[in-house]
Amino acid sequence: MKKTKVRFNNEKLQYSAILMKALAHPLRLKILEYIDSQGIINVNRIYNTLQIEQSVTSQHLRLLKTAGVVNARKEGKFVHYNINYPILQKAEKAVKNFLAV
């Protein structure tokens, strides 16, 4: 019987774990849905509309930004967020491919 060698690119594996962790939280998904409905939005509107504490919102947005799921642009004292759709599309494709096996 022939053994199969399994090799992973550690860098890609680590990024995949960060990305999936970022997407596997109900509140982060709710934040993403809200950003998607608005296009570009600042953090104040996110936490006020969703009635989440500012610090909690910022922590979730930091994780989403680290994973590359959202882009952040600072304008004066406000940070505006928008979704990085190509990353979400790649994640969706990867999950579908994984589940198809």
The CATH number that applies at residue 87 is 1.10.10.10
Residue 4 lies in a domain: no
Residue 66 lies in a domain: yes
How many domains does the structure of the chain reveal? Answer: 1
Residue 8 lies in a domain: no
In tens digits, the chain (101 residues) has pLDDT values of: 667 788 888 998 899 999 999 999 999 999 999 999 999 999 999 999 999 999 999 999 999 999 999 999 999 999 999 999 999 999 999 889 888 86
* Residues of the domain holding 19: 15-100
Residue 77 lies in a domain: yes
pLDDT value at residue 40: 96
Residue 2 lies in a domain: no
pLDDT value at residue 56: 97
**Inter-CA distances, 82 with 6, 10, 11, 40, 41, Å:** 37, 28, 25, 5, 7
